[in-house]
Amino acid sequence: MRQKTQKLVLTFDTTAAVMALERACAGQEQLGRIIPTPQAISAGCGLSWCALPEREAELTELCRARDILVAGKALVEMYG
Amino acid sequence: MNQQVNAIGDACPLPVVKAKKALSEMAEGTLTVLVDNEIAVQNLERLAKANGCAFSFAKDGDAHYMATIEKTAASAKDVQGAEAFACAPAGDTVVVISSNRMGDGDGALGKILIKGFLFALTQLDVLPQTILFYNSGAFLTTEGSESLKDIRALEEAGVEILTCGTCMNHYGIADQLAVGGTTNMYAIAEKQMQAGRILRP
């Protein structure tokens, strides 16, 4: 039986920003991954960053250090 | 006022037609609909959402589902027609991945998109029966693929994962298959021929 768990989802104003975060997190699977923006957050098209909620501080600092502007944060119930 | 509709054994679109009739007769309350297939559940969810009603469902046993539609004062006064809820074709859904990129254009974006598509499949409540990978799509099921975690999750959830053996041989990755099984052109043709629906991103 598949279970949903809470995930942290970071949104960005541009695809380039989330792709920059993916490059910054290369080889560090524990920091999360790119996903299509969940419909629970937005019905629009877009890519977001998905991670475990406990990684929020680490990701926030990484984005700040790399000048990657985070547009929003949300907690979303997702499979996996 | 609460109501229950028993649509066990009813062919599509009868469950949604019965549910629409019951909803129309209710001012407010809970409508419980018993059905025996997931397509009916999906159609009932569309009916609920189209009319501003809350929806949930529970699976009871192998083939019994209890869908619950909550009609409130905020829900639509005139229940929208069930005509728009097309019945799914008989047969399983087969997803065909023929490339390690999704769409034409920017290659880097195409790789992110196919990765996102495979992730999105893992988030579906109703999963496809089979995913076929061929041509450069074979790179997605072999070692080094960034989608292995998602494809493994799909396999663990019961989705059949098949990759074209000829394609893996061609690309020299036949010994690197990391998830699912190997298939051939006859099976690829047969799976698509028997499918009720084919998704090709």
Are the Cβ atoms of A19 and B153 closer than 8 angstroms?
Answer: no
- Encode pLDDT of A29-74 as tens digits: 999 999 989 988 876 668 899 999 999 999 999 999 999 999 999 9
pLDDT greater than 70 at residue B14 = yes
Are the Cβ atoms of B123 and A38 closer than 8 angstroms?
Answer: yes
pLDDT at B49: 85
**Which candidate in B12, B53, B164, B167 is catalytic?**
B12
pLDDT at B119: 96
- Judged by CB atoms within 8 Å, which residues 155-184 of B form the interface with A? 157
At B89 the three-state DSSP class reads coil
Name the interface residues of A facing B (CB cutoff 8 Å). Answer: 2, 15, 19, 22, 33-36, 38, 47, 78-80
Backbone angles phi, psi at B67, to 5 degrees: -95, 140
Q: Which of B84-88, B94-98, B162-166 has the lowest mean pLDDT?
A: B84-88
- Encode pLDDT of B28-82 as tens digits: 899 999 998 878 888 888 888 888 899 998 887 767 889 999 988 887 777 766 5
Tell me whether residue B164 is one of the annotated catalytic residues.
Answer: no
pLDDT at B90: 61
Sign of CA dihedral B6, A3, B117, B188: negative
Distance (Å) from the alpha carbon of A36 to chain B's nearest alpha carbon: 6
pLDDT at B59: 82
* Contact present, B165 and B188 (Cβ < 8 Å): no
CA A32/CA A56 separation, integer angstroms: 10
ipTM metric: 0.79
CA B196/CA B201 separation, integer angstroms: 16
Mean pLDDT of B92-99: 96
pLDDT at A41: 86
Q: Which of B123, B146, B149, B150 to mutate to test the interface with A (most CBs of A within 10 A)?
A: B123
Q: Report pTM.
A: 0.69
pLDDT at B47: 87
β-pairing verdict for B54-59 and B65-71 = antiparallel
